[in-house]
Structure formats: C-alpha cells, structure tokens
Amino acid sequence: MLPTAEIAYGPDAPRITTFNQATSYACRNRNSAETGKISEHAHGNAIDIAGFTFSDRKTFVIEPREKDSTLVGAFERAITASACLFFTTVLGPASDAAHETHLHLDVIKRKGDYRYCW
C-alpha cells in the first residue's frame, strides 16, 4: 500500500498509521439479512475497513470512486485490487450499496482457492 500512497500523494507522502475499522466480529447473516448464509464476520474471519489515517493526521475515507479519475480515486481502486492478493473476498464501494463506505475483507475458503474481488 505504501508505494501506491507515494504515487497518489507524492514522494513525501505521509505514512499510513491507522486502519479505521468499521466492523470486525458480528454474529449475523450476510449483509445483516434475516435469512441466508452466516457472514464471515460471525466466524471471526472478516473485517471492514472504513479508511486510513496518515502520520500527518489526515484521513482517507472509503467511498464510491469508481469514476474518479484523480490519483485519490486511483489510490482507492489500487488498494481494493491489492487486497485481493491477501484476502479471498474483497468487496468495496463498486460491489454493492452495502459496501459503499468500507472495504469488506475476509478469508473464506472456496473450492479451487477461488477469490471473489469486486
């Protein structure tokens, strides 16, 4: 993530010091639906990240930026795509309305090591 921040914010980019967490463990179904599959949050295998705080105390908030042609928009899309190298499910603002304000990251095991990144 650091090289991406340096590209988006310049060579003197502040360091990311904090991941601003939205949710972690929550005993519930997916998307808090009344019925359906149990969320990976209920298994303790998921975390939602709402943004980051940099060493200069400025924050970066996850929000819909799929059509944002600035370096900030590219930064968000890059971190979303990069997360799929480490997590098996990555859902961000472009995936659906339930994830417009955060990145959902989980490690569910799927057949053939399939990853779902959106």
> Tokens 């967490």 identify what position?
21
pLDDT of 1-44, one tens digit each? 567 888 888 888 888 899 999 999 999 989 888 999 999 999 99
Residue 83 in contact with residue 95, Cβ under 8 Å? no
The confidence score (pLDDT) of residue 18 equals: 95
Q: CA-CA distance, 91 to 38, in Å (whole number)?
A: 16
Give per-residue pLDDT as tens, 63-111: 999 999 999 999 999 999 999 999 999 999 999 999 999 999 999 999 9
Residue 27 burial (C-beta neighbours within 10 Å; 0-12, 13-18, 19+):
exposed
pLDDT of residue 68: 95
All domains in the chain, ordered by first residue: 2-117 (3.30.1380)
